[in-house]
């Protein structure tokens, strides 16, 4: 029950039994009733005068903010997840399609802790070459490097030959890979 109802009941009781109440108390109750009804009316006007679009704008802003944060988190996960490439089981790897994660075109391709056979599968596909491993040792060697697809294949082979334990050569349409023996004077097995 609202306080206004109690005050109104008191006022009605005062009208029925005026002998129980003084004139001053009657005037005070009437003033309180007027004041409370004005307050209630003002509150109702204020309550319904609030613009509701602002509430929706806040909700929309929060939703957009959450979506933006989710997008940033997804981009960070994609950026810091290492790319994996399929591993070959044969000595000669040939493919008409680059594995997923490989990017063709002018932009560089970043290999992060990728096996040599996977790297060479991507590169050989781009240059339309085959790969032959003469030794099994270098096949699982993991490298971190960047490849520029618009650079000549010979430049890429020279960069790989700079790694210890690797020797690559290009003969006809095949890239030959063999391991180096660090104890031999020539470095080859």
Q: What is the CATH number of the domain that holds 136?
A: 3.55.50.30
Q: Which of 76, 109, 140 is the last residue of a domain?
A: 76
Judgement on whether residues 72 and 110 belong to the same structural domain of the protein = no
Q: In whole angstroms, what is the distance from residue 117 CA to residue 91 CA?
A: 9
Give the count of domains, the chain.
Answer: 2
Counting residues of the chain whose pLDDT is more than 90, the rounded percentage is: 13
| Domain extent at residue 150 | 92-179
Q: How confident is the model at residue 90 (pLDDT cuts 50, 70, 90)?
A: very low
Q: What is the mean pLDDT of the chain?
A: 76
C-alpha distances out from residue 168 to 85, 90, 163, 165, Å: 20, 17, 10, 10
Q: What is the pLDDT of residue 152?
A: 92
Q: Does one domain contain both 63 and 122? A: no
Q: What is the pLDDT of residue 181?
A: 63
Query: Do 69 and 128 sit in the same domain of this protein?
Result: no
- Domain check: are 101 and 70 in the same one? no
Last residue of a domain, which of 24, 48, 76?
Answer: 76
In a domain, 133, yes or no: yes
Distance from C-alpha of 69 to C-alpha of 155, rounded to nearest angstrom: 41
């Amino acid at each position: 029950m609202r306080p206004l109802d109690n005050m109104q009941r008191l006022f009605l009781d005062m009208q029925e039994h005026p002998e129980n109440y003084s004139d001053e108390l009657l005037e005070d109750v009437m003033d309180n009733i007027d004041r409370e009804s004005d307050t209630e009316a003002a509150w109702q006007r204020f309550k319904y005068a609030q613009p509701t679009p602002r509430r929706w704008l806040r909700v929309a802003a929060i939703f957009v903010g959450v979506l933006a944060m989710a997008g940033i988190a997804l981009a960070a996960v994609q950026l810091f997840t290492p790319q994996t490439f399929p591993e070959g089981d044969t000595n000669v790897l040939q493919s008409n399609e680059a594995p997923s994660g490989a990017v063709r075109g002018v932009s560089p391709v970043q290999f992060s802790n990728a096996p040599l056979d996977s790297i060479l599968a991507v590169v050989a596909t781009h240059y339309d070459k085959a790969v032959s491993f003469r030794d099994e040792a270098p096949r699982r060697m993991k490298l971190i490097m960047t490849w520029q697809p618009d650079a000549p294949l010979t430049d890429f082979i020279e960069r790989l030959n700079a790694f210890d334990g690797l020797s690559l050569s290009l003969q006809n349409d095949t890239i030959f890979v063999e391991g180096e023996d660090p104890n031999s004077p020539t470095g080859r097995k």
